Amino acid sequence: MRATVSRQFTAATTLVPQVAVAIAVDIAWVAGQASSGQISDGVFMMDNKVRNGSSGEGSLGLHTVCNAGDLIGFQVIPIAADGSSGDTVIITGFADVTGSVFTGAGHPIPQPPLGGLPSGSYWIGQALAAGTESYMIQIMLSVGALQPVRYYVWWDATLTAR
């Protein structure tokens, strides 16, 4: 007797994160400072969890406080003058520095872009374990349209899941 197993995959539903992290980037300023790869200002991180105890709003050092199991949406938004010559910014990756709140299964991954922004501008992760984690975010700025120059910059932020 022979048995057959068939796997069926359904179309992914639209994920709605409980935590929204907005990363606003002053493209001209950061590009001017990015020769070392690390920056100290020009990037403004905010989340919707101040009520939970998040801190560092409006700085590079955002400390997000959420619940274990929460989905976390990360969206990078360019701050650029009108006629910015095609300047863009996207997230290129996340890396664990210390701790393991995301674990391997909750590590942020790219999602379809929102609001006409380029691919790579929106990622979702999940806080799967209680604890505190320091993680690195890397972004890529592309400045200019005719001969774009790319700058990669990174910094650390913190996530606590209860």
One-letter amino acid of 103: T
Query: What order of strands is seen across the sheet that includes strand 109-110?
Result: 43-47, 19-26, 71-79, 122-126, 109-110
Tell me whether residue 33 is in a domain.
Answer: yes
Per the structure, the count of domains in the chain is: 1
Q: Establish if 11 belongs to a structural domain.
A: no
Q: What is the pLDDT of residues 69-118, one digit of tens each?
A: 999 999 999 997 665 567 899 999 999 999 999 998 999 999 998 888 89
Using 50, 70 and 90 to split pLDDT, how confident is the model at 59?
Answer: very high
What residues have CB less than 8 Å from 53, skipping those under 6 apart? 65, 160
Give the CATH number, domain containing residue 131: 2.60.40.3910
In this structure, is residue 13 part of a structural domain? no
Domain assignment of residue 76, yes or no: yes
The 10s digit of each residue's pLDDT in 18-54 is: 999 999 999 988 888 866 666 788 999 999 999 999 9
Residue 8 inside a domain? The answer is no
Q: Which domain holds residue 53?
A: 19-161
Q: Pull the structure tokens for residue 148.
A: 């774009």
